[in-house]
Amino acid sequence: MTSSILLDGRSLTRAQVATIARKGASIRLDEAQLLKVKRAADFLAEKVGGGEPIYGVTTGFGSNADKLLGAHRVRDELPGGNPDPQQGTLLEELQHNLIITHAVCVGKPFSVDVVRAMLAIRVNTLMRGHSGIRVETLRALAELLNRDVIPVIPEKGSVGASGDLAPLSHLAIVLLGGGEAFYKGERMTGAKALAAAGLEPVRLSFKEGLALNNGTTQMLATGVLALDTMDMLIRTADLAAAMTLDAFAGRTGAYAEEVHALRPHPGQVAAARSIRGLLDGSTLADIAYHLVPRFRPWLADSWTDPADQAHRFDIGWDWVPATQRHGKEAFYSRFLPFKGGKKHQPQDAYCLRCAPQVHGAVRDAWEQACRVFDVELNAVTDNPLVFPDAENAQVIEDQVISAGHFHGMPLALAMSYVKASIPVLASISERRTAKLVDPANNDGLPAFLIGNEDATDSGFMIVQYTAAALVNDLATRSHPASVYSVPTSANAEDHVSMGANEARHVLEMTEDLGHVLAMELYTAAQALEYRQDMLNAARTLAHRGDWQALASKVSGAPRQDSPHYARFETEVRALMDALAAADDFHGGVAVRDALSMLREHVAFMQRDRAMDGDVRAVCDLVASGRLVG
């Protein structure tokens, strides 16, 4: 991808970060804004030249803030001292040492997309011109991204205040020619990567170490990518719910616009609207109870017409005799007296009926996090903050102000909210999957969605087990990291956010959420085909006009010499006419499109086969986002 995104410190969006991180876009720096970057750097140089004490520039860091830098190195006068003319001034050494001693993360490296996001975000915040970094250093940082030099950053080590010090030091150390980086996908030393990309190591100047490693960049990058993935997964959850509802021939009243106008939580209203749209064009939703046959196992004599021999099932209804209709006359004036697959109840289970409320609450959590992260993307998050043009400044503290913008709690709490929502969305999906495979609750579909004519097939039984295992795992990982602060830096930094852990957890958890939704879609596709095929088989039978052929599918028929037989015949003929008059039975337009795409990767399962390849294919399809565009 050759697109380029302009960074000015004020207009970066989550979508742009995702494009840079996941689609390979490069970055450009706004030249007008670079003048403000230069102004802040020049201001610091001027103040340092005047002998002003400035935190992190002429003092130590953290609990060393009370230590002022001297005019020369005391250690050079120690016995055995050996001055190194290459190490630069004390002020330069301070910034250099900050980076090399803070790069102490552990664990496996972040993926390339996370580090690309970190580079873009760090460049953007420094573009605001309140950090004191020089233009040439900022350009060098941007060139790491543009020339595909991706620092190796182990995942664990940030406490989320002062910012993401350790991981950002791993990012910055490559600028100095240290650490490790991936260049064109190959892992090598930072020095080798710079050389291969035609870049020179940087010697840091006043406050540049702090500017590079003090900020919320890791938690922001991982959080932005997690939110980007969550956006896709929330829409996927709506699709899965719609496909499952179609497979159940469920009721749509619970999704009606006027219903949700009475409790207008934004996410709930949006979820109901989304699922309504996905069901548009369905001839399964809200179907009359009496039209829906239940599954019966296929037998050699199930179908007498040669055209029906390809069916992988038999179908049937129970006739309700007049003696069992007392007190139910109003119901049977609307519906014919046949019990098939649909239970005679006007409401579906919670996992179907309450999808707008549950999916909507997750949407609201996501929206709140998006609001917080949108602010943070164009915020200044290092310390101290440089205000070179502050009016009425009397002392240096009026223009170089120590504050707490590095504290990640706004992001951490927003991520805690999203983190808690992930097992919720996974759980309701797993409940729909469980309902689909359970013959006591799947409204006339086969047990475990397989014919099992010879009692040797397990069908989709264990798919639900996997979903259940993932839901449990997600639930146990959803404890908020943000509620547990561990003080650092000899209690100078005595309250931290743990936002880096929080955002990393959320990003990791989205993968398993996607897997749970994939399990539901895999199962719902099988169920939907059964439902469509069973109904359309009944419709085809009715089209032939042979009421006795249809009657052969009905249990509980009276004997022909019974006084009730004439009524039975009349009512079977009415069922035949209703089925014959019905349109082709199918899911909503969007549901059909999704089913077609799924079938490009996995076939309907008529009898047991190895399912591992199917599962991988559906999980990969969900992760790609292609199902929801």
Supply the DSSP symbol for 479: S
Residues of the chain above pLDDT 70, percent: 97
Regarding whether 40 and 12 lie in a shared domain, the answer is: yes
Q: Predicted confidence band at 7 (pLDDT cuts at 50, 70, 90)?
A: very high
Regarding whether 105 and 34 lie in a shared domain, the answer is: yes
108 located within any domain = yes
For residue 9, pLDDT over 90 is answered with yes
Regarding whether 338 and 442 lie in a shared domain, the answer is: yes
Give the Cα-Cα-Cα angle 1, 509, 442 (nearest 5 degrees).
110
Element holding 480 (H helix, E strand): none
617 located within any domain = yes
Regarding whether 304 and 446 lie in a shared domain, the answer is: yes
- Can you give the CATH number for the domain in which 328 is found? 1.20.200.10
Regarding whether 310 and 235 lie in a shared domain, the answer is: yes
C-alpha–C-alpha distance, residues 227 and 366, integer Å:
7
Regarding whether 257 and 202 lie in a shared domain, the answer is: no
Regarding whether 556 and 531 lie in a shared domain, the answer is: yes
For residue 74, pLDDT over 80 is answered with no
C-alpha–C-alpha distance, residues 298 and 300, integer Å:
7
pLDDT in tens, 86-114: 667 888 888 999 999 999 999 999 999 99
pLDDT in tens, 390-406: 888 888 888 999 899 99
Q: Predicted confidence band at 515 (pLDDT cuts at 50, 70, 90)?
A: very high
372 located within any domain = no
148 located within any domain = yes
Regarding whether 321 and 194 lie in a shared domain, the answer is: no
- Can you give the CATH number for the domain in which 132 is found? 1.10.275.10
C-alpha–C-alpha distance, residues 279 and 283, integer Å:
9
406 located within any domain = no
Residues in the chain, total: 629
pLDDT in tens, 298-318: 999 999 899 898 899 999 999
Q: Predicted confidence band at 484 (pLDDT cuts at 50, 70, 90)?
A: confident
Q: What's the sign of the alpha-carbon dihedral 253, 258, 264, 270?
A: positive
C-alpha–C-alpha distance, residues 561 and 563, integer Å:
7
Regarding whether 422 and 525 lie in a shared domain, the answer is: yes
Q: Which of these three, 167, 185, 215, is where a domain ends?
A: 215
Q: Predicted confidence band at 71 (pLDDT cuts at 50, 70, 90)?
A: low
Regarding whether 594 and 547 lie in a shared domain, the answer is: yes
Q: Predicted confidence band at 81 (pLDDT cuts at 50, 70, 90)?
A: low
For residue 351, pLDDT over 80 is answered with yes
Q: Which of these three, 215, 245, 272, is where a domain ends?
A: 215
Q: Predicted confidence band at 72 (pLDDT cuts at 50, 70, 90)?
A: low
C-alpha–C-alpha distance, residues 49 and 384, integer Å:
18
Supply the DSSP symbol for 322: G
Regarding whether 240 and 170 lie in a shared domain, the answer is: no
Torsion of CA 50, 51, 57, 60, to 10 degrees: 180
387 located within any domain = no
pLDDT in tens, 574-599: 999 999 999 999 999 999 999 999 99
For residue 324, pLDDT over 90 is answered with yes
Domain that holds residue 240: 227-367+414-628
132 located within any domain = yes
409 located within any domain = no
C-alpha–C-alpha distance, residues 315 and 554, integer Å:
9
Residue 292's nearest CA partner among 590, 569, 575, 589 is 575
- Do residues 368 and 416 make contact, with C-beta atoms less than 8 angstroms apart? no
Q: Predicted confidence band at 349 (pLDDT cuts at 50, 70, 90)?
A: very high
Query: What is residue 85's predicted lDDT score, i.e. its pLDDT?
Result: 56
Q: Which two tokens stand for residue 564?
A: 């009730």
Provide mean pLDDT across the span 250-272. Answer: 98
Q: Which two tokens stand for residue 552?
A: 């052969």
Provide mean pLDDT across the span 214-218. Answer: 96
Q: Which of these three, 215, 241, 265, is where a domain ends?
A: 215
Is pTM, for the whole model, over 0.75? yes
